[in-house]
């Protein structure tokens, strides 16, 4: 008897990643296909949907070829970067490059929505404020700067759902990804009629919404031929990358939280009941399984801080060489602090004008101190996010550390020390694509529920405990870190205004 396998695809910020997994939880194949991120102006971030399609089909084809038989593949699950705006015409062709989650051009539009509708009303209708990265302020920006595109718009999709369209011909999304648009009611798990009316959105533009482990399309004969698979394979509704990553990490019960260090940093807590922060400083959404929600805090530039440091000052040196240098600096980085606000900041400040800073620099500091300060500053920002989540009443008792940063023994220890809590380490390879594969397994009937899928594919985990000495020094450094944002807020706003003036965006 053949062994059922499932494929998960993660349409990330830097590339598409596909995994082939079996019902025991074993990963049988992985393939990554990169694509470019375009920054036509400072603070802008766009990608070509055609690049997504090319990379997605490359990655899917590569792992599909590793299945023992094409008929063994029971389902495909989709996940990807959240919030991106992809506009299509009636022929289902992109009208422009997609505007991504990390694009900051829509600060004025965000403020316009908050002023016109009101913070409390926005939170009541959706659970969230329309952050710069969300689709809602991007749509307002398009209406103001590229209005003719809306005359030709027939579909408005999130990134992963563009790939679904190419695989199945269906315009559909899931509740978790829709929660990050700015016009989805996370409490009732459906589009917000009030927000759709206020934003003048044509209902026909919006995809159908389904629960994450439900089937949302099947593989067309054309797509099946491109992938070397059989037509009719179920495609799960899937989830945004953070909810899918939480499924992979087993973060589905109240009390569980994931701390993820990728390009951005995320603290993601599962909840058994809906509850939004009145001021919108913590993002809330429908989780990737029915009758569950999530609370999420985001650091815009987590791994991105380390990437910026490397690309700017250490080009050609690998992360594996850079990070160990920080062991030559003691906890607290000899008084040096890094504010990781290279892309503004979301949690807890909701401030697109926040700017990065190295504070306390002297001639006595060496490269090791700067590297360690960056690692610590990211951990401090994640602690800010965790405290914001706990501040709205969320129960957080157990942490799982995930993402690329979790592969660094030093960064693991720094996070455990800063949080003063044990960190379970997610097994390598079990990121969002793996979570999408589990959702596909549920959609196709391999498992009866997401909880059953997690139980049957569980793997052993290492645990990193906080160290006594490091924690004392880092607690003192964190107290100073908390003072820096308000102290520099006015200077940051002036810097942001000057930068906007220089690029013509003022």
Which residues are known to be catalytic?
Answer: 241
**Cα dihedral across residues 243, 247, 248, 253: positive or negative:** positive
Take residue 187 and report the two structure tokens written for it.
């409490």
Find tokens 């026909």 and name the residue: 204
**Is the separation of the CB atoms in 248 and 438 below 8 Å?**
yes
Number of residues assigned to the chain: 506
Q: Which of 272, 297, 260 is nearest to 424 (CA)?
A: 260
Contact 133, 101 (CB under 8 A): yes
Q: What are phi and psi of 187, to 5 degrees?
A: -70, -45
Q: How far apart are CA 286 and CA 280, in angstroms?
A: 15
H-state helical runs in 169-274: 175-178, 193-198, 221-227, 241-248
| Contact (Cβ atoms closer than 8 angstroms) between residue 302 and residue 264 | yes
3 state SS of 136: helix
H helices of 86-118, in order, are 107-117
- Locate the DSSP E strands across 329-425: 337-339, 357-359, 396-402, 423-425
Structure tokens at 55: 């990379």
Q: Report the sign of the C-alpha dihedral through residues 307, 9, 247, 289, in that order.
A: positive
State the DSSP string of 440-466. Answer: HHHHTTSSSSHHHHHHHT----EEEPP
Would you state the structure tokens that stand for residue 111, as one six-digit string?
A: 């403020």
CA angle centred on 169, ends 165 and 173, rounded to 5°: 45
Distance CA 60, CA 160 (A): 13
Q: Which residues pair with 172 in a beta bridge?
A: 208
Helix (H) or strand (E) holding 434: helix 432-443
Q: H or E element: which one contains 47?
A: strand 46-47
CB atoms within 10 A of CB 127: 25
Contact predicate 18/63, CB 8 Å: yes
């Amino acid at each position: 008897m053949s062994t059922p396998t499932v494929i998960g695809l993660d349409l990330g910020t830097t590339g598409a990643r596909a995994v082939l997994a079996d019902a025991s939880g074993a990963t049988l194949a992985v393939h990554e296909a990169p694509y470019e991120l375009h920054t036509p102006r400072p603070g802008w971030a766009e990608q070509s949907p055609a690049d997504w399609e090319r990379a997605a089909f490359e990655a899917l084809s590569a792992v599909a070829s590793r299945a023992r038989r094409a008929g063994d593949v029971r389902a495909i699950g989709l996940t990807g970067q959240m919030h991106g705006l992809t506009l299509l015409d009636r022929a289902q062709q992109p009208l422009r490059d997609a505007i991504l989650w990390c694009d900051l051009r829509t600060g004025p539009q965000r403020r316009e929505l908050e002023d016109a509708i009101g913070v409390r009303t926005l939170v009541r209708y959706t659970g969230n404020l329309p952050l710069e990265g969300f689709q809602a302020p991007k749509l307002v920006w398009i209406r103001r700067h590229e209005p003719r595109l809306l005359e030709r718009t027939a579909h408005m999709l999130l990134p992963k759902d563009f790939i679904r369209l190419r695989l199945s011909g269906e315009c559909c999304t899931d509740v978790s990804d829709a929660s990050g648009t700015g016009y989805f009611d996370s409490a009732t798990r459906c589009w917000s009629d009030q927000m759709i009316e206020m934003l003048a959105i044509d209902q026909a533009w919006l995809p159908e919404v389904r629960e994450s482990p439900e089937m949302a399309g099947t593989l067309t004969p054309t797509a099946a031929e491109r992938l070397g698979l059989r037509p009719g394979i179920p495609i799960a509704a899937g989830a945004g990358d953070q909810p899918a990553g939480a499924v992979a990490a087993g973060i589905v019960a109240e009390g569980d939280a994931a701390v993820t260090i990728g390009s951005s940093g995320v603290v993601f807590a599962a909840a058994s009941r809906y509850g939004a922060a009145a001021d919108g400083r913590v993002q809330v959404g429908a989780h990737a399984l029915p009758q569950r929600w999530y609370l999420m805090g985001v650091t815009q530039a987590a791994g991105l801080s380390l990437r910026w440091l490397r690309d700017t000052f250490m080009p050609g040196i690998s992360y594996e060489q850079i990070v160990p240098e920080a062991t030559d600096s003691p906890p607290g980085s000899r008084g040096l602090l890094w504010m990781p606000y290279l892309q503004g900041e979301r949690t807890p400040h909701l401030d697109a004008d926040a700017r990065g800073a190295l504070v306390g620099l002297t001639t006595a500091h060496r490269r090791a101190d700067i590297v360690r300060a960056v690692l610590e500053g990211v951990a401090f920002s994640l602690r800010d996010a965790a405290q914001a989540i706990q501040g709205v009443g969320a129960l957080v008792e157990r942490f799982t550390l995930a993402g690329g940063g979790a592969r660094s023994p030093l960064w693991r220890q720094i996070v455990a020390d800063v949080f003063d809590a044990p960190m379970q380490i997610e097994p390598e390879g079990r990121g969002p694509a793996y979570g999408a594969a589990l959702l596909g397994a549920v959609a196709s009937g391999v498992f009866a529920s997401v909880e059953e899928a997690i139980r049957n594919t569980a793997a052993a985990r290492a645990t990193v405990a906080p160290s006594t000495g490091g924690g004392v020094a880092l607690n003192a450094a964190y107290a100073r870190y908390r003072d820096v944002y308000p102290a520099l807020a006015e200077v940051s706003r002036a810097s942001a205004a000057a930068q906007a003036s220089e690029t013509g965006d003022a």
